Structure 1
Amino acid sequence: MTDYSIPIKTSGAYKIASHLRNYGHSVKVIDNFVWILKNHKYDLFEYLQERIGATTLFVGFSTTFMSPFKMDKFKKTRGQTKKEDSVENFSTLMNILKTQHPQTKIVLGGQGVQTGMIFDLYKEIDHWIKGLAEDSVLDFITKLKSGIEQPRIIEDNFLASEYNFRESGPMFSIKDNVFQNEVLPIEISRGCRFKCKFCSYPLLGRKPSDKYIRSEESLYKELLWNYTHFGTTQYMIMCDTFNETTEKLLSVKRAIDRIGIDINFWSYIRMDLIDAHPEQLEILRDIGIRGAFLGIESLYDPSSKAVGKGFGRENTIEMVKRMKDSWGDEVLLHGAFMIGLPHETPETATEWCELLDRREILLDSISMNALRIFPYQKLRQISTSRVFHSEFDINAEQYGYTRGKDGWRNEFWTQRSAQEFAEMWKSRFNESAPDYLTHTLRSANLPMSLLNGGFEWEEILKTDEPQEFQDHVKSQKLNLLNRYVENVFTK
């Protein structure tokens, strides 16, 4: 699970577990791992000792959202971080696995900067299986059983092309300790029809096709399974672009209508597609949208256009208003912004940040961070292909960036100055309107996580006692984590 205000499940580990179970393997998923390792380490060690045996092939760690890993400390010391400073007690666990279960491989899953840093730091890790892994994990197991030597970094440049994603089954098993009415992730499509230059996700620029979009029947079966076994009607839709086609949305609607239930969901939305296909506004409302993540990046048109977001400032402001008018205030709109894009200067960024501060665009929350470009030396060290890196990662110098020990720089910014600018403006937003924009409990997909704590949507939207509410959230988070631990160690 992610370390949000209230824990909420992510899809990676469960998707692989479901896939392996379909091929006859026994898989146990332990979620909330970092919290358990910190607060119940001896229980965890004992549990693993009892269950890891001669037939255990590997212990895997899903790391994309392992948020307590201290990346900043790692970067400042240039890789000299003590293991105890990263994930508490992780080093001890690695040592136990290596010394007491040498026949069992330690495998890392995930992609991106953080996963690479964990891989570098913990030399006990045998393999890193990168990215989409349905094909590569089966191949890994076959070779492992046959005693065939394999590289430490395993990349599938074919992006699980043999896996039948379109007809894939339910992600969660009754063995996965899912609570009743829990908010769950669901993967409806893979990849993105767009190719933003800062994005490092796989399958960028792919055409909408049946290969990468699940069938109505497949969705119907998973939604029905989750409702029947867990009572789930609240979802985090994990598609890179949920509204990539109107037909895709209609297929989801038909699957929901067949079950005869109402669902609510949060998803990533492209505003330019709604502008091109205005019928999507009504469809998204009818199938239960409760939150939308809008990757705006910049309100300086030359910058947003340079990275693949050419919708424009005026169109963006108008579309946000149209969404609010159609969906109402109960749907939360989150805008994501990035500092340091090509052509952006401190002056142009200040101008549109002041626009945000005046609330001239009707967003409910924002996030703002510096552009991240993968260090070139690190890119060479841990990559055997370019599948999982952005255009900027690969060709930063062609876009006016240079890379050094302190990150990137261009004509107007350094990575540090861009991050300091973002932090300064987030502080200003909070000072002028503490219940708006960067308020953490209502930011991005965090409101959906609060539903797992037993909060009602109306309560999340309208609470006027933020400190009392935050204290209640902390209490509910601890209750949920303790319930989860009890379930894990008794089942």
Structure 2
Amino acid sequence: MDVVLLTSILSNTNRLYRPWGPYQLAWYLREHGYQVQVLDFLHKFEKSKILELVSKFIGPETKIVGWNCMFMPGDEKWWIKLICEEIVPVLRRRFPHVNFVTGGAAVHQVNRLYRNRRVFDYLFYGHAEDTLLAFCEHVYRGKTLPDTEIVLGNKVIRETVPLPHLRKRFKIEECAHIWHERDCIVPGESLPIEMARGCIFKCKFCRYPYIGKSKNDFGRRIEFVRDEIIQNHERFGTHNYYMLEDTFNDSNDKVNAFAEMSQKLPFRIGFAAYLRPDLIWSFPGQAEQLRAAGLVSGFLGVESLGEQSSRLIGKAWSGQHARAWLPKLYHDIWQGQVTFRTSLIIGIPPDTREDLYATHQWAVDNGLPNWKWHVLNVNRDHQSGWISEFDKNADSYGFDWYTEYGKTRWKTAVMTWRDAKNLQAELETLGKPHQMQDCWGLIERGTFGYDLAEDKHLLIVKMDRKDAATRRGQFLDAYYDRVMALPA
């Protein structure tokens, strides 16, 4: 095997789903003649089993092992420590000829924690189809090493570096990704799928670097999406998807094209997606088209019902219309057949504790299917990899700073970061009896054979956790057996 990629998605929900990045990179490298093995769900295995899995695929020809650092804030400390202080050092001693590299959503955090090449030979910032390919071309075929820079003592390769020796750069529009037999897809498994990259909006709190794109830019051609969906159904029996796009409904033309394509398939698909509720509201008929396309559940970025706070972050619609329209969307337009999570943020000025309790009560009184509270993240460190408008100009938006246990935290005239954390715990406890299965968690249950038409109305507190744990274990066993049955 030329390249081995290690991955997992960590979250406090104990879910099992595949991150897109490593499989996309594996597909792209295979298209250029490299043999690649992706190893997934590693956070669910003991250290000895992880080493067994990885070592199986590293041979004398293997020169690159990569780790995808993908996890949610607060869930990662033990996993980072295990990978960086136990797994990689053991592998490096066993296989001294291998380059160890990393990339992914949390690569900047890993860089800050493990400086001066303590763990990795190279770190990849941003989308890495071209840069990882160029690195492989250097390692295996003697081509020029992509330009590197030293960041905190580590060698970093950014996606923006010039790569003159590549004949063709990756374009999402022409991406013909297909899952490989070595990916060991389990029959009936729900899978991620990519439609486009980037976001047309510029929310003030958002650190995502690919914001502000033009509508319809960086969109994958619909025939490639259709071909992948058909192959997944024929090969794996897959019909449920995690739609990986920052705003699936940013273009009404795209929604209509996807709905037309999906309704012509000889089978029914279901999916969850990130959606802007203001766009569903703005385009008559879009809600119906989304449902016809197969939308099972959406992630709605509402953030706040306050007029001032929603206007401050760039989502004025939420403060003006969400309170009245979201219940109508769920109960009347979608008739409870499409669920959604209402995403809400604690800490946006001038929202008070009382305002947020009122928002909680609004969700309960209107029988919304699910809502989730997030603490606002504002970072004073402008040297971090990705920064938001709030990060850059915190003072202009009413933020000040204080120190708590050696860490710099934000505060406003009405709330501190600690107040927000405590309030999050209170509101989540109050909301727990009312939350239904939704979004990514609902699609994940399709992997384990649950009926999503029934599950979408299931209160999470009434879920049979013992049965779910049994099915998760069976899924992991099936995946492990498939991987171990592969030829090295």
Q: Structure 2 length as normaliser, TM-score?
A: 0.86
Deviation, 1:468, is 6.4
Pairing 1:373–2:378 present = yes
Deviation, 1:98, is 2.1
> Alignment partner for residue 270 of structure 1, among 266, 270, 276?
276
Pairing 1:364–2:373 present = no
Pairing 1:419–2:421 present = yes
> Alignment partner for residue 159 of structure 2, among 150, 156, 159?
156
Pairing 1:119–2:111 present = yes
Structure 1 residues 127 and 190 mapped into 2: Cα distance closer, same or farther (>3 Å)? same
Deviations 1:423-465 (A, max 9, x none): 11111223xxx1x13x6xx144211111111111244235579
Which one-letter code corresponds to 2:100 in the other structure?
I
Structure 1 residues 106 and 465 mapped into 2: Cα distance closer, same or farther (>3 Å)? closer
Separation of aligned partners in 2, 1:331 and 1:244: 19
Separation of aligned partners in 1, 2:288 and 2:438: 24
The aligned counterpart of 1:58 is 64
Separation of aligned partners in 2, 1:170 and 1:254: 21
Report 1:52-91 matches (<5 A): 52-65=58-71, 69-71=75-77, 86-88=80-82, 91=85
Which one-letter code corresponds to 2:388 in the other structure?
S
> Alignment partner for residue 224 of structure 1, among 230, 241, 252?
230
Q: Are the counterparts in 1 of residues 189 and 448 from structure 2 also a CA contact under 8 Å?
A: no
The aligned counterpart of 1:341 is 348
Query: How many aligned residue pairs are there?
Result: 457
Separation of aligned partners in 1, 2:29 and 2:72: 22
Q: Are the counterparts in 1 of residues 311 and 319 from structure 2 also a CA contact under 8 Å?
A: no
Which one-letter code corresponds to 1:91 in the other structure?
E
Quote the RMSD (CA, aligned, Å).
Answer: 2.6
Deviation, 1:198, is 1.2
Pairing 1:321–2:327 present = yes
Which one-letter code corresponds to 1:317 in the other structure?
R
Structure 1 residues 332 and 85 mapped into 2: Cα distance closer, same or farther (>3 Å)? closer
Pairing 1:142–2:137 present = yes
Deviation, 1:85, is 7.7
Deviation, 1:154, is 2.3
The aligned counterpart of 1:48 is 54
The aligned counterpart of 2:470 is 475
Structure 1 residues 393 and 87 mapped into 2: Cα distance closer, same or farther (>3 Å)? same
Separation of aligned partners in 2, 1:49 and 1:351: 54
Deviation, 1:50, is 4.0
Deviation, 1:235, is 0.8
Higher relative contact order (CA 8 A, sep 6+): 1
Separation of aligned partners in 1, 2:15 and 2:79: 24
Q: Are the counterparts in 1 of residues 307 and 320 from structure 2 also a CA contact under 8 Å?
A: no
Q: Are the counterparts in 2 of residues 6 and 473 from structure 1 also a CA contact under 8 Å?
A: no
Pairing 1:27–2:36 present = yes
Structure 1 residues 49 and 260 mapped into 2: Cα distance closer, same or farther (>3 Å)? closer
Separation of aligned partners in 1, 2:72 and 2:328: 37
The aligned counterpart of 1:12 is 21
Separation of aligned partners in 2, 1:265 and 1:305: 30
Q: Are the counterparts in 2 of residues 186 and 236 from structure 1 also a CA contact under 8 Å?
A: yes
Unaligned 5+ runs, structure 2:
1-7, 150-154
SS state at 2:97 partner: coil
Deviations 1:157-187 (A, max 9, x none): 4899932211201242122011122111111
Unaligned 5+ runs, structure 1:
72-83
SS state at 2:214 partner: coil
SS state at 1:190 partner: coil
Deviations 1:457-478 (A, max 9, x none): 2442355795661111111111
The aligned counterpart of 1:281 is 287
Deviation, 1:288, is 1.1
> Alignment partner for residue 400 of structure 1, among 398, 410, 419?
398
Q: Are the counterparts in 2 of residues 366 and 443 from structure 1 also a CA contact under 8 Å?
A: no
Which one-letter code corresponds to 1:420 in the other structure?
N
Which one-letter code corresponds to 1:26 in the other structure?
Q
Structure 1 residues 167 and 371 mapped into 2: Cα distance closer, same or farther (>3 Å)? same
The aligned counterpart of 1:460 is 455
Separation of aligned partners in 1, 2:444 and 2:81: 23
Deviation, 1:129, is 1.0
Separation of aligned partners in 2, 1:464 and 1:235: 22
Deviations 1:106-143 (A, max 9, x none): 1112124xx43333334212222122221222233334
Q: Are the counterparts in 2 of residues 290 and 331 from structure 1 also a CA contact under 8 Å?
A: yes
Q: Are the counterparts in 2 of residues 366 and 444 from structure 1 also a CA contact under 8 Å?
A: no
Report 1:200-215 matches (<5 A): 200-209=207-216, 211-215=217-221
Which one-letter code corresponds to 1:470 in the other structure?
R
Deviation, 1:21, is 1.0
Structure 1 residues 465 and 266 mapped into 2: Cα distance closer, same or farther (>3 Å)? closer
The aligned counterpart of 1:301 is 307
The aligned counterpart of 1:98 is 92
SS state at 1:290 partner: strand
Deviation, 1:314, is 4.9
The aligned counterpart of 2:4 is none
